[in-house]
Amino acid sequence: MVHKTCFHCGLDAETSGIVYDDKPFCCHGCKTVYEIFTIHDLTCYYDFQQAPGTTPKEIEGKYNFLDNSKIVDQLLEFNDHTTQIITLYIPNIHCSSCIWVLENLNKLHAAIRSSMVNFGKKTVRITFVNENLSLKNLVALLSRIGYEPYISLEDYSIGKKHIDRSLIYKLGVSGFAFGNVMFLSFPEYFQVEEFWLEQYKHLFRWLMFAYSVPVVLYAAQDYFVSAYKGLRSKILNIDVPIALGIVVLFVRSSSEIVLDTGSGFFDSLTGLIFFLLLGKFFQQKTYDYLSFERDYKSYFPIGVTKINLDKQEESIQVYDIQKGDRLLIRNEELLPVDCILIKGKARMDYSFVTGESKTVTKQSGDKLFAGGKQLEGSIEVEVLKSVEQSYLTQLWSNDVFKRDKTLGFTNITNRISKSFTLSILTIAMVATTFWLLTDSSKALNVFTSVLIIACPCAIALAAPFTFGNILRILGKNKFYLKNASVVEQLAQINTIVFDKTGTITVNKETKINYEGVQLTEDEEALLKSTLRGSNHPLSRSLYQILNTNNIVSLDYFEEHLGLGIEGQHKDHNIKIGSEPFIGHAKNATTLNTSVHIRTNNGYKGKFTFHNKYRKGISKLFNQLKKDYDLVILSGDNAGERDNLTKLLPSKTKLLFNQKPEDKLEYIKYHQGEGAKVVMVGDGLNDAGALAQSDVGIAISENINVFSPACDAILDATKFDQLYKYITISKSAVKTIKWSFALSFLYNVVGLYYAVTGQLSPLVAAILMPLSSISIVVFTTVITNLLGRTLK
Partner 1 sequence: MSVIYILLAISIAVAVIFFIAFVFAVRNGQYDDSYTPSVRMLFEDEIVKEKNNKSVLTKKD
Determine if 38 is a binding residue for partner 1 (CB under 8 A). yes
User: What backbone torsions phi and psi does residue 335 show, to the nearest 5 degrees?
Assistant: -80, 120
Closest C-alpha to 463, from 170, 773, 739, 772 = 739
Buried b (16+ CB within 10 A) or exposed e, 238-276: bbbbbbbbbbbbbebbbebbeeeebbbbbbbbbbbbbbb
Determine if 101 is a binding residue for partner 1 (CB under 8 A). no
Nearer to partner 1, 179 or 605 (CB): 179
Determine if 117 is a binding residue for partner 1 (CB under 8 A). yes
Closest C-alpha to 145, from 38, 47, 49 = 38
Determine if 169 is a binding residue for partner 1 (CB under 8 A). yes
Nearer to partner 1, 198 or 661 (CB): 198
Q: Cα(593)–Cα(229) distance, rounded to whole angstroms? A: 57
Q: How far is the CB of 255 from partner 1 (least distance, A)?
A: 24
The answer to whether 510 and 541 have CB atoms below 8 angstroms apart is yes
The answer to whether 524 and 550 have CB atoms below 8 angstroms apart is no
- Given 55, 61, 119, 209, the residue binding partner 1 (CB under 8 A): 119
Sole window of 116-124, 408-416, 569-577, 609-617 interacting with partner 1 (rule: CB under 8 A): 116-124
Q: Cα(247)–Cα(241) distance, rounded to whole angstroms? A: 10
Sole window of 163-171, 505-513, 587-595, 714-722 interacting with partner 1 (rule: CB under 8 A): 163-171
Q: How far is the CB of 764 from partner 1 (least distance, A)?
A: 24
Nearer to partner 1, 38 or 191 (CB): 38
Closest C-alpha to 617, from 666, 659, 652 = 652
How far is residue 435 CA from its own chain's centroid? 57
Radius of gyration of the chain (CA): 33
Nearer to partner 1, 119 or 514 (CB): 119
Determine if 99 is a binding residue for partner 1 (CB under 8 A). yes
Sole window of 177-185, 436-444, 586-594, 716-724 interacting with partner 1 (rule: CB under 8 A): 177-185
CB atoms within 10 A of CB 22: 6
Closest C-alpha to 141, from 79, 73, 88, 72 = 88
Q: How far is the CB of 7 from partner 1 (least distance, A)?
A: 8
Q: How far is the CB of 196 from partner 1 (least distance, A)?
A: 5
Q: Cα(695)–Cα(686) distance, rounded to whole angstroms? A: 13
Determine if 182 is a binding residue for partner 1 (CB under 8 A). no
Determine if 59 is a binding residue for partner 1 (CB under 8 A). no
Q: What is the 3-state secondary structure (H, E, C) of 596-642?
A: EEEECCEEEEEEEEEEEECCCHHHHHHHHCCCCEEEEECCCCHHHHH
Question: What is the β-pairing status of strands 695-700 and 677-681?
Answer: parallel
Nearer to partner 1, 61 or 91 (CB): 91
Taking phi first (over 0 means left), then psi (-120 to 50 degrees means alpha), and beta for anything else, what does residue 404 get?
Answer: beta
Q: How far is the CB of 118 from partner 1 (least distance, A)?
A: 5
Q: How far is the CB of 222 from partner 1 (least distance, A)?
A: 17
Sole window of 172-180, 303-311, 570-578, 683-691 interacting with partner 1 (rule: CB under 8 A): 172-180
The answer to whether 240 and 267 have CB atoms below 8 angstroms apart is no
Could you tell me where the DSSP H helices lie in 673-760? Answer: 687-692, 722-755
Q: What is the per-residue DSSP string for 159-202?
A: -S-----HHHHHHHHHHHHHHHHHHHHHHHHTT---HHHHHHHH
Determine if 100 is a binding residue for partner 1 (CB under 8 A). yes
Determine if 426 is a binding residue for partner 1 (CB under 8 A). no
- Given 163, 192, 407, 437, the residue binding partner 1 (CB under 8 A): 163
Quote the Cα angle for 306-312-314, to 5°.
40
Determine if 7 is a binding residue for partner 1 (CB under 8 A). yes
C-alpha to C-alpha distances, 604 to 368, 575, 582, 584, 727, nearest whole angstrom: 36, 10, 11, 11, 51
Nearer to partner 1, 7 or 250 (CB): 7
Determine if 32 is a binding residue for partner 1 (CB under 8 A). no
Determine if 180 is a binding residue for partner 1 (CB under 8 A). yes
Q: Cα(618)–Cα(609) distance, rounded to whole angstroms? A: 20
Determine if 673 is a binding residue for partner 1 (CB under 8 A). no
Determine if 14 is a binding residue for partner 1 (CB under 8 A). no
Nearer to partner 1, 7 or 128 (CB): 7
Q: How far is the CB of 213 from partner 1 (least distance, A)?
A: 15
Residues 6+ apart with CB under 8 A from 169: none
Determine if 284 is a binding residue for partner 1 (CB under 8 A). no
Sole window of 176-184, 429-437, 503-511, 761-769 interacting with partner 1 (rule: CB under 8 A): 176-184
Nearer to partner 1, 101 or 220 (CB): 101
Nearer to partner 1, 116 or 770 (CB): 116
Nearer to partner 1, 165 or 651 (CB): 165
- Given 47, 80, 521, 673, the residue binding partner 1 (CB under 8 A): 47
Sole window of 39-47, 506-514, 568-576, 688-696 interacting with partner 1 (rule: CB under 8 A): 39-47
Determine if 43 is a binding residue for partner 1 (CB under 8 A). yes
Nearer to partner 1, 46 or 391 (CB): 46
Determine if 221 is a binding residue for partner 1 (CB under 8 A). no
Determine if 126 is a binding residue for partner 1 (CB under 8 A). no
Determine if 228 is a binding residue for partner 1 (CB under 8 A). no
Q: Cα(98)–Cα(424) distance, rounded to whole angstroms? A: 56
The answer to whether 343 and 380 have CB atoms below 8 angstroms apart is yes
Determine if 287 is a binding residue for partner 1 (CB under 8 A). no
- Given 19, 39, 40, 44, the residue binding partner 1 (CB under 8 A): 44
- Given 14, 77, 103, 524, the residue binding partner 1 (CB under 8 A): 103
Determine if 96 is a binding residue for partner 1 (CB under 8 A). yes
E-strand spans in 199-335?
303-307, 313-317, 326-329
Buried b (16+ CB within 10 A) or exposed e, 675-705: bbbbbbbbbbbbbbbbbbbbbbbbbbeebee
Determine if 183 is a binding residue for partner 1 (CB under 8 A). yes
Closest C-alpha to 109, from 131, 82, 87, 78 = 131
Determine if 409 is a binding residue for partner 1 (CB under 8 A). no
Q: What is the per-residue DSSP string for 413-465?
A: HHHHHHHHHHHHHHHHHHHHHHHHHH-GGGHHHHHHHHHHHT--HHHHHHHHH
Q: How far is the CB of 120 from partner 1 (least distance, A)?
A: 5
- Given 69, 199, 518, 589, the residue binding partner 1 (CB under 8 A): 199
CB atoms within 10 A of CB 485: 19
Determine if 547 is a binding residue for partner 1 (CB under 8 A). no
Nearer to partner 1, 41 or 60 (CB): 41
Q: How far is the CB of 791 from partner 1 (least distance, A)?
A: 24
Determine if 752 is a binding residue for partner 1 (CB under 8 A). no
The answer to whether 106 and 112 have CB atoms below 8 angstroms apart is yes
Q: How far is the CB of 718 from partner 1 (least distance, A)?
A: 23
Determine if 207 is a binding residue for partner 1 (CB under 8 A). yes
Nearer to partner 1, 83 or 118 (CB): 118
HSE (side-chain half, CA atoms, 13 Å) at 390: 27
What single DSSP character describes residue 74? H
Taking phi first (over 0 means left), then psi (-120 to 50 degrees means alpha), and beta for anything else, what does residue 554 get?
Answer: beta
Determine if 422 is a binding residue for partner 1 (CB under 8 A). no
In the complex, which residues of this chain contact partner 1 (CB under 8 A)?
A: 4-5, 7, 23, 38, 41, 43-44, 46-47, 50, 96, 99-100, 103, 117-121, 163, 165, 168-169, 172-173, 176, 179-180, 183, 196, 199-200, 203, 207
